[in-house]
């Protein structure tokens, strides 16, 4: 008998077909967001689950899924999975690194440009019928070319963003848990390693691409926003919770920074309603990796991990090798 797997969210039909060759598949094409109780119910009898960052696999959920052997996350981030709890129970976990680097970097650039050059704000104004004449000071923004780009979190996506800055003749500064090798810095538009404080006080445009963990919670709060230039922009591509949204709203309202571009929010898909009252913020619904090709690549990669893990092979993107069956 084939092992059973749960698809916790709707996926491309080709993924259901692919997984059905190996498993009994319970799909969720109505895309119901399961409550923790519903998820626990659905996981009963399932050897594996293909999940997204919207489903939490905490110690309680893992503890209520005695048949579970693998959680394959369709995301590079895995802050929704308690890896220690998985490992303690012998549940393998995987993510989908690399396949989304370039697409996410493209989007970081889109948000940066839209934020600095007030693209959505001016479009809303135009759509509202407010454009009656050209004027010298209509939606003045900040230059991107020739400016200083500060990247907080210089992993593979951060480096892909830095490479793109070469065409804009920018100076790149970065801060990361560890400094990159000299060769990597060179390829990342000769990026210079600086302290977090120097980055915040020097950059014209700050992009956040660091992973979320309890240690990175509210990495950008009131004190950090106060270090930024009043003309600076902030882009968050990483995870809600890295920025203190209440502090950011206050800084944007009081024009202590010029503008922000946000693809992620604390408690998303809910978000602080005050964002909607601000003109100097560009808001997008967690779509940085959402090109068709990349989302398909992520889904296939998650499926490949699940197939490997439940067929006795090492999943290519295994996050917790200590959970591998030892026999
Ligand atoms: C990721 O891959 O982590 C993206 O944010 C989608 O969740």
The structural domains of the chain, with segments of one domain joined by +, span 4-97+292-323, 101-283
The two domains 4-97+292-323 and 101-283 share their CATH topology (first three levels equal): yes
Cα(first)–Cα(last) distance of the chain, in Å? 21
Neighbours of 229 (CB within 10 A): 18
Catalytic residue among 56, 268, 272, 300: 268
Q: Whose CA is nearest to atom 3 of ligand 1?
A: 77
Q: What residue owns the CA closest to ligand 1's atom 6?
A: 75
Is residue 239 flagged as an active site residue? Answer: yes
Please choose from 9, 55, 100 the residue to mutate so as to test ligand 1's pocket, defined by most ligand atoms within 8 A of CB.
Answer: 100
H or E segment to which residue 149 belongs: strand 148-152
Domain 101-283: CATH superfamily is NAD(P)-binding Rossmann-like Domain (3.40.50.720)
pTM equals 0.96
Q: What is the pLDDT of residue 327?
A: 53
Does residue 11 line the site of ligand 1, with CB under 6 A? no
Q: How far is the CA of 129 from the centre of ligand 1 (A)?
A: 37
Query: How many A from CA of 41 to the centre of ligand 1?
Result: 25
Contacts of 11 (CB under 8 A, 6+ apart): 27, 50, 74, 299
Distance of CA 211 to the CA centre of its chain: 8
C-beta separation of 136 from 116 below 8 A: no
Q: Is the CB of 50 under 6 A from ligand 1?
A: no
> Which of 75, 213, 241, 295 has most ligand 1 atoms within 8 Å of CB, for mutation?
75
Cβ–ligand 1 contact at 75 (below 6 Å): yes
**Using an 8 Å Cβ cutoff, are 77 and 212 in contact?**
yes
Distance CA 146, CA 105 (A): 19
Which atom of ligand 1 has the smallest separation from the CA of 78?
3
Binding site membership of 211 for ligand 1 (Cβ less than 6 Å): no
pLDDT in tens, the chain (327 residues): 899 999 999 999 999 999 999 999 999 999 999 999 999 999 999 999 999 999 999 999 999 999 999 999 999 999 999 999 999 999 999 999 999 999 999 999 999 999 999 999 999 999 999 999 999 999 999 999 999 999 999 999 999 999 999 999 999 999 999 999 999 999 999 999 999 999 999 999 999 999 999 999 999 999 999 999 999 999 999 999 999 999 999 999 999 999 999 999 999 999 999 999 999 999 999 999 999 999 999 999 999 999 999 999 999 999 999 999 875
The owner of tokens 């990026």 is: 191
248 lines ligand 1 (CB under 6 A): no
Give residues with Cβ within 8 angstroms of 179, minimum separation 6.
Answer: 185, 193
Burial class (CB in 10 A: 0-12, 13-18, 19+), 135: exposed
76 within ligand 1 shell (Cβ under 6 A): yes
Q: Is ligand 1 within 6 A of the CB of residue 55?
A: no
Cα–Cα distance for residue pair 240/218, rounded to 1 Å: 9
Q: Which atom of ligand 1 is nearest to the CA of 75?
A: 2
Q: Which CATH number fits domain 4-97+292-323: 1.20.58.2050, 3.40.50.300, 1.10.3470.10, 3.40.50.720?
A: 3.40.50.720
Whether ligand 1 lies within 6 angstroms of the CB of 95 is answered as no
Tell me how far the alpha carbon of residue 213 lies from the centroid of ligand 1, in angstroms: 14
**Does residue 44 have an active-site annotation?**
no
Max CA-CA distance within the chain? Answer: 75
Whole-number Å distance, alpha carbon 193 to ligand 1 midpoint, is: 26
């Amino acid at each position: 008998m084939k092992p059973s797997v749960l698809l916790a969210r709707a996926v491309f039909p080709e993924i259901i077909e692919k997984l059905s060759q190996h498993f009994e598949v319970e799909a969720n094409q109505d895309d119901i967001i399961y409550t923790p109780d519903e998820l626990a119910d659905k996981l009963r009898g399932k050897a594996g689950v293909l999940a997204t960052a919207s489903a939490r696999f905490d110690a309680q959920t893992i503890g209520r899924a005695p048949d579970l052997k693998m959680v394959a996350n369709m995301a590079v981030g895995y802050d929704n999975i308690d890896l220690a709890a998985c490992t303690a129970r012998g549940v393998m976990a995987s993510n989908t690194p690399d396949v989304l680097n370039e697409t996410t970097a493209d989007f970081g650039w889109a948000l940066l440009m839209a934020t600095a050059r007030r693209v959505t704000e001016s479009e809303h104004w135009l759509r509202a019928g407010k454009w009656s004449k050209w004027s010298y000071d209509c939606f003045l923004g900040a230059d991107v070319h020739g400016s200083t780009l500060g990247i907080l979190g210089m992993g593979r996506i951060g480096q892909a963003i830095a490479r793109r800055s070469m065409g804009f003749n920018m100076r790149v500064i970065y801060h990361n848990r560890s400094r990159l090798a000299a060769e990597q810095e060179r390829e990342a538009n000769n990026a210079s390693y600086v302290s977090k404080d120097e980055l915040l006080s020097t950059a014209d445009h700050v992009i956040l691409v660091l992973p979320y963990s309890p240690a990175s919670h509210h990495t950008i709060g009131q004190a950090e926003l106060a270090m930024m230039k009043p003309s600076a922009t902030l882009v968050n591509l990483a995870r809600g919770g890295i920025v203190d949204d209440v502090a950011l709203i206050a800084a944007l309202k009081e024009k202590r920074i010029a503008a922000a571009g946000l693809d992620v929010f604390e408690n998303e898909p809910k978000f602080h309603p005050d964002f909607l009252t601000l003109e100097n913020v560009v808001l997008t619904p967690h779509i940085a990796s959402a090109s068709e090709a990349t989302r398909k690549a992520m889904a296939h990669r998650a499926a490949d991990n699940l197939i490997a893990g439940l067929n006795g092979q090492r999943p290519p993107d295994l996050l917790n090798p200590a959970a591998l069956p030892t026999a």
